[in-house]
Amino acid sequence: MAAGVSAGLNVLRLISEPTAAALAYGHQRLIGNKTVGGDSAVNGHPPVIRSSYGGGSRYGERCWECDELGHYKRDCPNMACWRCGEVRHFKLDCRNYDRWDEYRESLIRRAVDAVGKNVPVSKMCGGTSDVSVVVGKNVLVFDMGGGTFDVSIVTMKEGTQNDFTFVVKAVAGDSHLGGTDIDKRLLQHVAEQFRSQLEREDLLVKPRIRKKLNQLVVDAKHDLSVKTEAEIDLDCGGDDILTVRLERTKFEALNQDLFHRCMTIVEQALRDAKISKGEISEVLLAGGSTRTPKLQEMLMAFFGKPPIKSVNPDEAVAFGAAVQAGLLARRDKFAKASISVCDVTSVSIAVETRFGVMHVVIPRNSPLPASESAYFVLLDFQKSAWTALYEGDRALCQNNRLLGELKLDGFTPCLATLDRSIEAVIKIDENGILHATAEAIANHEDIGRKVETTVTLDTDFVQDSANIREETDWYMPQAKAEDAKIWAAKSSENRLWKLIVGLRVQGSSSMGHTDLEKHVSEAWAWFSEHKELALKEEYNRRYEELELLAKLQNLAVI
């Protein structure tokens, strides 16, 4: 391969020749190399388009929005990427996220639509050239790049016609854990060492020196993958050259908690897949940060076997993209591709309930396509119903990502009952596109009325990550404990609500329960006026009081 580019917070270029190169395939070959020149080469580098939060970027020249890609194809027919003849199939590749949410995917699909194609976004494991050796085995993909960390557990099934299917059993990860986190810690540590040599002068406040020092730190980190010690020499101008020695043991101590977070996610993925570590046949490394010896040692100690190192971790994803491109090309001649992927949802899909608590409809790691329903009742004299859709695995909606909303009007005002009035159906197809529907099934002037939404997301409709708490720390023990308390309280609140409403209905149809009716009214007033989720113990106490009174009156307790 003549050139490769990784898009992310830091841009990595792998250039093996001075002229620009293009990756292409056609009827005669899968991967080719065409040298191009003139306007298509920018400072000796190939023009690259990537999709990210801000749209596309052509490195070295200007930004390209998704809508401009169509003009790029039509108006630049001599560009290398379109010189292979008619472009019938192509592969868009981008950095991997454990939270492959609808917003990120919508940006990719906008780029796809702009050039008049419709390509499903899928994942492919490029860790072995002979797929038959892993048929029926569980493979754990340990992917740690510059900014994200992902763990996938995949098994391969063989069909009846020599076709293979990658079945994703579980995924887990952290989109705020990667090589850049290690770099930041090393930078602070080295800067402190230099500060002691310069009588407390902070080098990081000088942009030029900070940039230079950051690169030196990254180089030292790379050296520590093959050496036990690295030396950092910083030229501060003139005759001043500062030197710091960094040992691998110190490097590992500085980042010990990050490495343990990686293993915590590995354990979570195993639990989600419902398999033991002894059932993992192979461990595949992907991403440059997996070259860290300590990570490899921890994986070997945990699984009792060394990870696969036959594939360059920086190129593992590129191999998978090439395989996908080849499969797309083969579909012209074959009824079915020889390899397919059965993916899962990487996060839970939920609707918002009272007090902003998540009600999960489609759990994380559900096989795609997925479809589930949720039912809702109405409060006293409620005329309209509104709910928001979220993705994430924290208990509170504010800690997850907003996807969209559903609103139904026209309900007949009445006292609250236990009858279901609304059915919400959420579906996710094989391409990861979410479709949501809310239907009025009772107490409505037009039974069967529906509202629908397809979540391809607009930037104005998504909460910015900076405005919510860390949405990827759900797997940490502290977060799990917090969420367990919230969901337990919510469960107790629901139980109390059902009892109150049930007793109200029974009380309205019978006489002689004035004492009970008084307590029910007081409980309903407290319940309705409460603006925050109370403790589980408070709900349970009130439930037990009403339950005792109801049993004394020989009323049914729900």
> Between residues 44 and 375, which one has the greater pLDDT?
375
- Percent of the residues in the chain that have a pLDDT greater than 70, as a whole number: 66
Task: Tell me the torsion sign for CA atoms 148, 154, 159, 161.
Answer: positive
**Average pLDDT rounded to a whole number, residues 326-340:** 61
The torsion angles phi and psi of 217, rounded to 5 degrees, stand at -65, -45
Which pTM value belongs to this model?
A: 0.67
Could you tell me which residues come within 8 angstroms of residue 299 by beta carbon, excluding any fewer than 6 positions away? Answer: 142, 266, 283, 307
The mean predicted confidence, pLDDT, of the chain is 73
Q: Which two tokens stand for residue 383?
A: 């005329």
Q: What is the pLDDT of residue 63?
A: 40
User: Contact at 8 Å (CB) between 500 and 539?
Assistant: no
Task: Give the integer Cα–Cα distance in Å for 182 and 149.
Answer: 12
What CATH homologous superfamily does 179-256 map to? Answer: ATPase, substrate binding domain, subdomain 4 (3.90.640.10)
CATH topology of domain 131-176+262-339: Nucleotidyltransferase; domain 5 (3.30.420)
3-state secondary structure (DSSP) of residue 404: strand
**Average pLDDT rounded to a whole number, residues 259-288:** 92
> Between residues 75 and 225, which one has the greater pLDDT?
225
**Hey, how many other C-beta atoms are within 10 angstroms of the C-beta on 381?**
11
CA 225 from centroid of its chain's CA atoms: 28
- Taking only the tens place, the pLDDT of each residue in 264-275 is 999 999 999 999
Task: Give the integer Cα–Cα distance in Å for 220 and 212.
Answer: 12
Name, of 67-81, 299-313, 469-483, the range with top average pLDDT: 299-313
Q: What is the pLDDT of residue 263?
A: 94
pLDDT exceeds cutoff 60 at 316: yes
Could you tell me which residues come within 8 angstroms of residue 95 by beta carbon, excluding any fewer than 6 positions away? Answer: 6, 7, 8, 145, 147, 148
Task: Give the integer Cα–Cα distance in Å for 11 and 253.
Answer: 28
Task: Give the integer Cα–Cα distance in Å for 116 and 436.
Answer: 26
pLDDT exceeds cutoff 60 at 514: yes
- Taking only the tens place, the pLDDT of each residue in 86-143 is 544 444 445 444 444 445 555 555 554 444 333 333 333 444 444 455 677 899 999 9
DSSP-derived letter for residue 395 is S
- Taking only the tens place, the pLDDT of each residue in 523-537 is 888 888 888 898 999
Task: Give the integer Cα–Cα distance in Å for 299 and 413.
Answer: 60
Q: What is the DSSP string of 295-311?
A: HHHHHHHHHSSPPB-SS
Quick one: pLDDT band at residue 509, thresholds 50, 70, 90? low
pLDDT exceeds cutoff 60 at 382: yes
Q: What is the pLDDT of residue 277?
A: 93
Q: Is 462 left (phi over 0), alpha (psi -120 to 50) or beta?
A: beta
> Between residues 267 and 26, which one has the greater pLDDT?
267
Identify which of 232, 151, 146 has the alpha carbon closest to the alpha carbon of residue 184.
146
Q: What is the pLDDT of residue 361?
A: 94
DSSP-derived letter for residue 122 is -
Name, of 1-10, 27-36, 166-175, the range with top average pLDDT: 166-175
Q: Which helix (H) or strand (E) holds 144?
A: strand 138-144
3-state secondary structure (DSSP) of residue 150: strand
Q: What is the pLDDT of residue 252?
A: 92
pLDDT exceeds cutoff 80 at 232: yes
Identify which of 401, 398, 367 has the alpha carbon closest to the alpha carbon of residue 103.
401
> Between residues 551 and 14, which one has the greater pLDDT?
551
User: Contact at 8 Å (CB) between 410 and 448?
Assistant: no
> Longest C-alpha distance within the chain, in Å?
98
Quick one: pLDDT band at residue 349, thresholds 50, 70, 90? very high
Give the burial string for 118-141 (b: 16+ CB within 10 Å, else e): ebebbbbbbbbeebeebeeebbbb
Q: What is the pLDDT of residue 488?
A: 92
- Taking only the tens place, the pLDDT of each residue in 469-500 is 444 477 777 888 889 999 999 999 999 888 88
> Between residues 219 and 508, which one has the greater pLDDT?
219
Q: What is the pLDDT of residue 357?
A: 92
Which of these ranges, 97-106, 403-412, 455-464, 467-476, has the smallest mean pLDDT?
A: 455-464
Which of these ranges, 126-130, 155-159, 199-203, 248-252, has the smallest mean pLDDT?
A: 126-130
> Between residues 132 and 313, which one has the greater pLDDT?
313
**Average pLDDT rounded to a whole number, residues 207-235:** 86
Residue with tokens 């921890």: 298
Count each helix (H run) and each strand (E run) in the chain, helices first.
11, 22
**Average pLDDT rounded to a whole number, residues 365-387:** 88
CATH topology of domain 349-467: Substrate Binding Domain Of DNAk; Chain A, domain 1 (2.60.34)
